[in-house]
Amino acid sequence: MSKIKEVYSELCSFCVLREMLNKPLFKAFFDYASATDKNDKLNKYGAFVSEIYNGGANLTALTRKLLFENENIFVKLISQKAEINKNIEISIIRELNSLTAFASLTYEDFFNDIGNVVFIPRYDIEEANLLEEYKQRTKNIEKYGYGIFASNCMFSVNENGEIMPIESADNTSIDSFIGYKTERQRVIDNTLAFLQNRPAANILLYGDAGTGKSSTVKAVANHLFESGIRLVEIRKNQLLLLPKVMGEISKNPLKFIIFIDDLSFNQNDDNFSMLKATLEGSASAKAKNAVIYATSNRRHIVKETFGERAGDDIHRNDTVQETLSLSERFGLTILFAKPEKKLYLEIIHELAERYGITMDAKELETKAEAFALNRGYRSARCAEQFIDSLL
């Protein structure tokens, strides 16, 4: 029996990792293994290699990625620290060894199996022991996670409350920022405490537009990805889905930042009550492995007019306190104030050096100030836009 037939035979009896066989890569391999004549094999081999190319041209790396993203009974029991049936343990060991054999198949193995051909497309492989790698990941499941959370850092929520990976997610890094070091460090310190199972606060980052509030949250998530942090972004109009989202992640071994960007409410907004209940730790809305980080241009979040404050509510003071109470539910509030001229110009010079802009310092500052005056404000975003205009 050829090596390909042996691997095919082993994959057919998968049970713990059976869902992997539904992936296009394995379907293409099964199609090839079932082919009979040479031309049919060549056709099916081309489809198999096409799947490898779509996944980066390395069969071993693609197999590893699919394995780590797989949700199966073994990894779920590991994450829940539950007892695992011995038969399941025996099966997963055998299947991981079979996957290693699959991931080690070379194009020469197919070349010899097809027989009497001049050329077939090549692909890469690398040495691997998927059994040992999987053992290492499951041993540190709280850092690596599984399923869609194994390879992705940032997620969004669809209309049905399902958590989905964000394609082309923001890859902002901590090192890319200039200024606001104290404010950013407070977010990092709180998140590290959260990772270490120490008391951690929900955070409200508020202040002027363009000061880096949202970028800070995303950069912290990227920075701590390998430590087990994941970010789930939820829009304000999706806050009624919070209990479902919390339920989805509550049994996951990872730690989650629920991120709400540009938060503000009008009076009598149903979403107001849901977020307040979550921040208060309502059993139906809060997961122990989640914190909420929100950004807002308003310190008190809820929009209010002078007319509303002077309204005819008999217990007006109670109503005002209710309106202001939401921001007080955040254990940590961090102000990102509009930068003074000194900080603004510091950002300008740092960005100019980073992007290789050679210009007299005085001229650079004069143009940067004029650019800010035309927009009516100074901010980190304004500085970036100015540098972009020069580039």
* 154-336: CATH topology: Rossmann fold (3.40.50)
Helix (H) or strand (E) holding 101: helix 86-103
Three-class secondary structure assignment of 177-219: CCCCHHHHHHHHHHHHHHHCCCCCCCEEEEECCCCCHHHHHHH
DSSP 3-state percent helix, strand, coil across the chain (nearest 5): 55, 10, 35
Q: Which residue has the tokens 């060894």?
A: 97
Give me the pLDDT at residue 103, please.
98
The model's pTM? 0.81
Give me the pLDDT at residue 185, please.
94
Q: In this structure, what are the phi and psi dihedrals at residue 302, rounded to the nearest 5 degrees? A: -85, 125
| DSSP annotation of 145 | -
Q: List Cβ neighbours of 185 (8 Å cut-off, separation of 6 or more).
A: none
Which residues partner with 258 through β-bridges?
Answer: 232, 292
Residue ranges of the chain with per-residue pLDDT less than 50: 304-310, 314-316, 318-323
Give me the pLDDT at residue 309, please.
47
Give me the pLDDT at residue 1, please.
67
Give me the pLDDT at residue 231, please.
97
Residue 40 CA to residue 27 CA, distance in Å, equals 15
* Residue of 287, 298, 307, 305 lying closest to 326 (CA atoms): 298
In angstroms, the first-to-last Cα distance of the chain is: 62
Give me the pLDDT at residue 90, please.
97
